[in-house]
Amino acid sequence: MPAAPSPKLWPLLWPLTLELLLGMLVGLAATLLAARVSDPAAAAFALANHISFTLFLLFRVVGAGIGVVLTQALGARQREAADGLALACLGASTRIGSFCAVLVLLGAEPLLRLMKAPPEALPLALPLLQCLAPALLLDAWNASMASVMRAHLRARDALMVLVAMNALQLLLALLLMPRLGLIGFALAVLARRLLALALHLLLWRVRLGLQPRAADWWAWRREPVAAMMHFGLPGAAENLAWRLSFMVSVAVVAAMGTRELAAHAYAFQVLHFLLIASLAIGLSMEIVIGHLVGAGRLHEADQQLRRAMRLAFLSAGGLSLAAALVAPWLMRAFTQDAAIVALGAQVLWLAVLLEPGRAFNLVVINALRAAGDARYPLYVGIGSQALVLAGGSWLLGSWWGLFGVFVAYVLDEWIRGLLMWRRWLRRDWLTHARAARRRVRALQRGT
């Protein structure tokens, strides 16, 4: 059988970049719409989103896992095994999504109280979160189905789904929120995700030749699910560890005062947009490396990663430097308080160091996972995030205030990034890559 052509980075990169950018812009627009209802509504919206996003990390167990194992199967030209994996991810997504939906539906109030919801926001956040509960199940399906599309190098189709669903959400939110408040937003979200599910099912049938049967939506196929969990669980655990450590750092900043907390929040709004390029490169490279590892083209995988790293460094360094140069004007878009503007502008200069370090993590960690080396990033991540991110934020923050907290962010990203790069350069991932190929062949025999 002739070798499959090498997957290219650019056809994956530009749709993913637009997808991430569009998602952030729609999130910003939704926040502004909630703020127009009232300040308590904006607070309730933020709390409900925070809980939903935290639960979304559970979906990454399936979404990230299916992305890695499916690209390896496709790279090995094991299409039958790849189709079996794609169908198996639906049943796993149903189980996890149903658990999250029931948890939110029945436990919305305890979850909001755990988040210290203010008394004026709780009555608004409670019905919003309960109305969003069914959307979590839809989210689980859509996240997995989109991962399957990207693994098949159908990034443009995934982008078109995102454009359609976000356009529908914005339209319905503009129509419904002035009349129904946050419940109108919940209805817009449900309609958006139902449309996404319908479009994904259409694309699966037309582009991939996949048409799930009724049993596929609930079946638990042990071997394919175990292969997904092997990659998905460490990735989700590392993301959860980062989020918990980051929350510690936010608590440290909150203790400094309102101005520091506001400057931190506004600076991170800017950093989220700077992150897009590195994140898109990392996700695209995961797909490329997975295909090459499945095909046994390990030297080519190494070369592709080095090219991607150069691109990530250039984009991260250039964008962060541009943001630092115009930081005072960026901060004035959020506030006219001179002290907050000065604090935000100061810490955005640290982004010139922070973003290249994040490029290391987002690109090299995804490459290691795609090569089958999923546990090392987890162990390093938990250690650095607990000691450097959380502990460093407390220690350096007590010395240098908000500037010290951002120094801890820089140190955490560079320590993890350099350790990941050392892991790659020493070729420690090769053993895992060869084991991943054996797992793919075993799955093919089992289908």
Looking at the fold, whether 26 and 57 belong to one and the same domain comes out as yes
Q: How many residues does the chain have?
A: 447
- Tens-of-pLDDT digits for all 447 residues of the chain? 445 566 788 888 889 888 888 888 887 787 778 767 776 777 777 778 778 877 777 776 677 788 888 998 898 888 888 899 999 999 999 999 999 999 999 998 988 887 667 788 888 889 999 999 999 999 999 999 999 999 999 999 999 998 999 899 989 998 998 888 889 989 999 999 999 999 999 999 999 999 999 999 998 888 888 888 888 788 888 888 888 888 888 888 888 887 887 888 788 888 988 989 899 999 999 999 999 998 889 999 999 999 999 999 999 999 999 999 999 998 888 778 898 889 999 999 999 999 999 998 899 999 999 998 988 999 999 999 999 999 999 999 999 999 999 999 999 999 999 999 999 999 999 998 888 777 777 766 555
Looking at the fold, whether 206 and 331 belong to one and the same domain comes out as no
Looking at the fold, whether 254 and 129 belong to one and the same domain comes out as no
Instruction: Give the number of domains in the chain.
Output: 2
Give CA separation, 94 vs 197, 215, 218, in Å: 13, 11, 6
Cα gap 347→360, rounded to integer Å: 20
Looking at the fold, whether 322 and 441 belong to one and the same domain comes out as yes
User: Tokens 């080396």 — which residue?
Assistant: 373
Looking at the fold, whether 189 and 263 belong to one and the same domain comes out as no
Looking at the fold, whether 186 and 249 belong to one and the same domain comes out as no
Cα gap 278→271, rounded to integer Å: 12
Boundary of a domain, candidates 169, 194, 220: 220
List of residues 6+ apart from 381 with CB closer than 8 A: 238, 241, 242, 365, 416
What pLDDT score does 13 carry?
A: 87
Structural domain boundaries enclosing 122 = 10-220
List of residues 6+ apart from 344 with CB closer than 8 A: 263, 266, 267, 327, 330, 331, 334
List of residues 6+ apart from 284 with CB closer than 8 A: 9, 12, 13, 16, 155, 308
Looking at the fold, whether 43 and 181 belong to one and the same domain comes out as yes
Report angle CA 142, 278, 274 to the nearest 5 degrees.
100
CB 20 within 8 A of CB 276: yes
What pLDDT score does 1 carry?
A: 46
Q: Does residue 20 sit within a domain?
A: yes
CB 226 within 8 A of CB 85: no
Boundary of a domain, candidates 220, 250, 277: 220
What pLDDT score does 4 carry?
A: 54
Looking at the fold, whether 165 and 274 belong to one and the same domain comes out as no
Looking at the fold, whether 138 and 42 belong to one and the same domain comes out as yes
Q: Does residue 289 sit within a domain?
A: yes
List of residues 6+ apart from 143 with CB closer than 8 A: 56, 59, 60, 62, 63, 93
Q: Does residue 230 sit within a domain?
A: no
Q: Does residue 3 sit within a domain?
A: no
Q: Does residue 395 sit within a domain?
A: yes
Cα gap 145→151, rounded to integer Å: 10
Q: Does residue 204 sit within a domain?
A: yes
- The burial class, CB within 10 Å (0-12 / 13-18 / 19+), for 285 is buried
Looking at the fold, whether 242 and 176 belong to one and the same domain comes out as no
Side chain identity at residue 211, one-letter code: Q
Looking at the fold, whether 405 and 305 belong to one and the same domain comes out as yes
Q: Does residue 329 sit within a domain?
A: yes
Query: Token pair for residue 427?
Result: 């070729």
Cα gap 84→198, rounded to integer Å: 21
DSSP 67-81: HHHHHHHHHTT-HHH
What pLDDT score does 204 carry?
A: 97
User: Rg (Cα) of the chain, in Å, rounded?
Assistant: 22
CB 166 within 8 A of CB 133: no
Side chain identity at residue 387, one-letter code: L
Residue 221's SS3 state is coil
Side chain identity at residue 385, one-letter code: Q
Looking at the fold, whether 202 and 315 belong to one and the same domain comes out as no
Helix and strand numbers, DSSP H then E, in the chain: 16, 0
Boundary of a domain, candidates 171, 195, 220: 220
Q: Does residue 231 sit within a domain?
A: no
Residue 297's SS3 state is coil
Cα gap 145→58, rounded to integer Å: 15
